[in-house]
Copies of this chain bind each other. A is one copy, B any other.
Amino acid sequence: MTAIDRGMPRPPSPSSHSAEEDRPSTTSRSRPFSGTGRYYSQGLGTFRVPMTLYGHNRARVVESMIEGGSTTANIISGGGGGGGGGGGDSYDTDHEPVFRQESYFHYLFGASRYSDCYGAITIPDGRSTLFVPRWGVDVATVCGPCPDLEDVRGELGVDEVLGVDDLGRFVEGEMSRMIAEAEEDEDEGRGGDDGDREEKRGGGGTNSRPKLYVLRGLNTDSGNYASPAHFEGIEKYDDMRDDETLFKCMAECRVTKSPAEIDLMRYTNWMSSMAHVEVMKACRPGMMEYQLESLFQHHTYTHGGCRHMSYTCICACGPNANILHYGHAGRPNSGRELASGDMALLDMGAEYHCYASDITCSYPVCGTFTDDQRAIYECVLAAQACVIGRLRPGISWVDMHRAAEGEILRGLIRCGVLHVPDGVSHDDDGGDDDAIIGEMIEADLGAVFMPHGLGHLIGIDTHDVGGYASGTPSRSDRPGLRKLRTARVLETGVVITVEPGCYFIDPLLDAALSDERQRRFIDVDRLNDFRGFGGVRLEDNVWITADGCENLTQCPRAVEEVLDVMKGGVWPREFPCRVS
């Protein structure tokens, strides 16, 4: 592969959403988002992210806060530090990880390359102010010229850019103004119809008091808390400060994606899909697992401008494919030289301008499936197809998880690993039987072979926020279901991964064999054929549309597609042109 290949197919052009659709609806007290029509791009043919995307995000948050009863307030959000990743330097050294912006801050400001920033948004007018560090000659020598505030304003399309040293004064000015206006309103109110006025403000009298919203809340995937922004003197506003509302509101806004966000995620998916294809073509016995990771990273960076992976690549071959978190600390994709009988399970996705993709391909490293490999592959493929075929607004994700389990169990019956116990009536037409599948699921047998959730929300975070937001179904405690990162009923605009898998994990198989509820369905001899098999997972990123869904991922999936690409066949088979 050459370092530049301008001849490769480009991603689909941005879809046909009109500018009208990109514009959020506005209430009478909020105003359209600002934005200068500027774009972020990594140059060459990489995707041009319109900064209006983030103006739209801000407007959505302001609108949602107003709908929630906020009247006059400042939102203060703090970005990530220069140390990168939020964790600062490595241990005690001066080694800084590569900077990646904090996700909530990025959602609001799209300031992917500005560290140590703060941002403020006023309610109800939605005015946005970014505060960037200012430095002297000493820092300028090593970090380059201090950003020019007006340039940053133009680049990001915010209303105003100031230095971080202005933040305290800015908040003081804004809060004073709001307090004065509130008091004026109150004075006027005493002469008029108080009840009517209070009602307009969204309820109780306290709501008319200006507030200072900062971001704090629990990430239900990590168990970590988002840290609220802090600046010198913030304690002056303790009685006006609200640490909770903003997090809930923003998490909910982030769950459903705008058309502009979808265009960006279509790009990250395209670029990662094409990198998977590149790896699929290069993969062969004798390579080390990490060489597949290296090629994927190189392809998405050099052709797609993606400096960050969405998560650590999982390149698990042969038996390693049953280690779900392979690739991490103890198993750094270096455990195996690929053997000709191995299945590869490659879970890799790049991000661009902080928006993620998360894609898994599985295939035989030698380019030919054995019968058993094909059987397992096809049952996972059937599970994925079944779910994607049913996805639309109103569908419960828990039901989809069960549907996927059902398809996998059917496949395992077909290949003889599972069977109908003696004495249970069974449809003999070579087929499955809903009642039997229901019994197997009731016995938690699905979770033996697919011990993870069917998929998760994805956006700026790979495991995106809002999975178990208040007001949504809570986490089940059943095996399998309890691993789901959301139990939501899907709605238009959600992007979710569909990643069924089938694995043969010894401790889980052994536990199943010692559990009579499960053992009676298992053909032990046949199961033993699959010890050491590893596993198969297929993962696509799917956008829920008004009347169904769109699969953003474009990898070869059908058996013949995979084999054809591994032999050098072109992909995609048709150029994915979108007419706008």
Contact = CB atoms under 8 A, between A and B. Distances in A.
Interface stretch (A12-20, A93-101, A171-179, A397-405): A93-101
Nearest to A283: B3
Interface residues of A, number: 89
Contacts of A80: 91
A297 B142 CA distance: 23
Given A80-B91, A87-B97, A294-B301, A287 B3 contact: yes
A225 to B, nearest CB: 6
Contact of A92 (B145, B225, B286): B225
Interface stretch (A121-129, A319-327, A430-438, A570-578): A319-327
Contact of A43 (B92, B326, B334): B334
A226 B451 CA distance: 39
Contact of A141 (B218, B463, B508): B508
B221 A94 contact: yes
A97 B85 contact: yes
Given A3-B282, A324-B141, A93 B103 contact: yes
Interface string A36-52: 00000011100000000
A153 interface: no
A293 B298 CA distance: 9
A181 interface: no
A302 to B, nearest CB: 4
For A298, A332, A505, which residue has the most chain B Cβ atoms within 10 angstroms? A298
B87 A143 contact: no
A312 interface: yes
A378 interface: no
Nearest to A6: B286
| Interface SS majority for chain A | loop
Interface string A214-228: 000111011011110
Given A1-B1, A42-B290, A302-B294, A93 B224 contact: yes
A85 B90 contact: yes
B331 A3 contact: no
A522 to B, nearest CB: 18
A394 interface: no
A21 to B, nearest CB: 30
Contacts of A221: 93-94
Contacts of A286: 4
A287 B99 contact: no
Given A42-B290, A288-B44, A144 B331 contact: yes
Interface in A186-240: 217-219, 221-222, 224-227
A244 to B, nearest CB: 14
B302 A142 contact: no
Contacts of A225: 92
B288 A143 contact: no
Nearest to A43: B288
Given A42-B290, A305-B290, A332-B113, A86 B89 contact: yes
A143 B1 contact: no
Nearest to A485: B94
A94 B358 CA distance: 14
Nearest to A463: B94
Contacts of A423: none
A341 interface: no
For A95, A96, A332, which residue has the most chain B Cβ atoms within 10 angstroms? A95
Nearest to A114: B330
Interface string A494-528: 00000000000111100100000000000000000
Interface string A131-155: 0000001001111110100000000
A143 B331 contact: yes
Contacts of A302: 290-291, 294-295, 298
A337 interface: yes
A243 interface: no
A226 to B, nearest CB: 4
A71 interface: no
Contacts of A217: 92
A102 interface: yes
A83 to B, nearest CB: 7
Interface string A432-459: 0000000000000000000110000000
A281 B428 CA distance: 66
A461 interface: yes
27 contacts: A2-B282, A42-B334, A44-B288, A44-B337, A85-B85, A86-B87, A86-B89, A87-B90, A87-B97, A91-B227, A92-B217, A92-B222, A94-B219, A95-B311, A95-B461, A95-B462, A96-B328, A98-B312, A98-B332, A99-B328, A115-B329, A137-B508, A144-B331, A290-B307, A294-B297, A294-B298, A294-B302
